[in-house]
A and B are shown apart, each in its own frame.
Chain A
Amino acid sequence: NAGVTQTPKFQVLKTGQSMTLQCAQDMNHEYMSWYRQDPGMGLRLIHYSVGAGITDQGEVPNGYNVSRSTTEDFPLRLLSAAPSQTSVYFCASQGGWSSYEQYFGPGTRLTVT
């Protein structure tokens, strides 16, 4: 049981490039989410999904797209990278309504130059 996995661990992009951050979980969790973590700003929710085929925006969705074609995978796409997207990105998952704990992946450190 690997839990929540994220790839890559580190990435450097040039302004304007696009890329996809991968996230997968093997716990059959319905709920998955993407956060970014910036110094002094805590965790901010980018997008989330309550099940396959269902996604919604969080508090900072601009510049990011998501899709949820399977229960296991929840990729985050940066459409045209900007220096303001330099951050550490975390994926998290959570089980059903009676499950309260969120499980986090190890994070992806992204630098946009």
Chain B
Amino acid sequence: AQSVAQPEDQVNVAEGNPLTVKCTYSVSGNPYLFWYVQYPNRGLQFLLKYITGDNLVKGSYGFEAEFNKSQTSFHLKKPSALVSDSALYFCAVRRAGNNRKLIWGLGTSLAVNP
């Protein structure tokens, strides 16, 4: 069965420090991988995706993510965190060539402390 795991419910980081939000997945075939962000009382916004090609993908607001096929991971990273990055982050996966249904992780709450 396809699944996505975000092993940390919450991540705390000091402003200016690098941040990592972890995601691992289980899907047969080639995966399409996504990160979305949800600010308080808002809908989800797309951050970045991996479809094919370079394992390091860059997205909005200075975020990037690295696809690691051997470890089935797609961790979200940012070199220097901002207080405004504090939000809920969701990882999602779908199988390449399948319909457009996404399998979602449970989300990780990121708190960036000033």
Residues of B in contact (CB 8 Å), total: 20
Q: Determine the chain B residues whose CB is within 8 A of the CB of A105 once the complex forms.
A: 43
State the A residues within 8 Å of B (CB): 4, 31, 33, 40-45, 48, 50, 58, 90, 92, 94, 97, 100-107
Tally of A-B Cβ pairs under 8 angstroms: 49
Residues of the B chain whose Cβ atoms lie less than 8 Å from the Cβ of A58: 101
B contact face: mostly helix, strand, loop, or mixed = loop
Contact A42 B105 (CB under 8 A): yes
Chain B residues near A (Cβ < 8 Å) = 32, 34, 36, 41-46, 49, 51, 90, 99-102, 104-107
Does B100 contact A42, Cβ atoms closer than 8 Å? no
Residues from chain B with Cβ under 8 Å of A102 in the complex:
36, 44, 46, 100, 102
Known: A94-B100, A100-B51. A41 touches B106 (CB 8 A): yes
Set of chain B residues within 8 Å of A97, measured between Cβ atoms: 100
